Amino acid sequence: MAKKVVIITGGGQGIGKVTAGHLAAEGWQVAILETDTEAGRETASAIAGLLFLACDITQEAAVQASVEAVIERYGRIDALVNNAGFGINKPIAELSLREWNRVIGTNLTGAFLCSKYCAPHLKESRGAIVNIASTRAYMSEPHTEAYSASKGGLLALTHALAMSLGPEVRVNSISPGWIDVTGHQKSSQRKDITWSREDHEQHPVGRIGRPEDIAGMAAYLLSDKAGFITGQDFVIDGGMTKKMIYV
């Protein structure tokens, strides 16, 4: 029986990289779309059989070509994880339109483009999409307008796609909270950080999150075990968004 095939955007570092490794260990054929060639090559060398495609997901032609390359290589696509994203945190008076568009383009438009070109193949395989959103879709710190707006848009895109692509394709999202990805960055940027006891204990579960916490949920949502789940967002934040704070 042919292995299932998953595309993960931003799969060279952080949550994307750990998710790629998790799914590969479960028997998936994994392809990552990544603009950072250093990170992409490192991940490809670390995960046996992984396909790394250099792709700027804000560019429609690049996305289309990458999806076609995956089909040419494997003949199918069973899942898509829209993980690529970044933020630019500045006071709104200092945030340029170009910076706003860069964040929206990667975090939201990129997810739309990848979903658009994967959709016909996902319908054929009766597959699934998982969008990696953020608790910033629900709550904010100052100066996060572009990032928060992009992640809020991703939640709306999730339930819209679930309605448009169902019943053949299920679409869900995950909203991570504070996830420590420092040990899963590319070599040139990897840092060892010791978080304080207070950092951990402000989470009701008693610790900061790990990329494995997100990868496990993504794997579940892509599996047949989640066959009755679509259009939903799953907050994985150690309970932080449910914690009342009194000063």
Quick check: 5 and 79 in contact, CB under 8 A?
yes
Q: Which two tokens stand for residue 202?
A: 């402000």
The span from the CA of 32 to the CA of 51, in Å, is 6
The span from the CA of 244 to the CA of 190, in Å, is 34
Q: What Å distances lie between residue 19 and 24, 39, 165, 230, CA to CA?
A: 8, 14, 24, 20
Residue written as tokens 């899942």? 79
In the annotation, is 147 catalytic?
yes
Q: Which of 74, 117, 138, 147 is catalytic?
A: 147
Quick check: 157 and 116 in contact, CB under 8 A?
no
The span from the CA of 25 to the CA of 126, in Å, is 22
Q: Which residues are catalytic?
A: 147
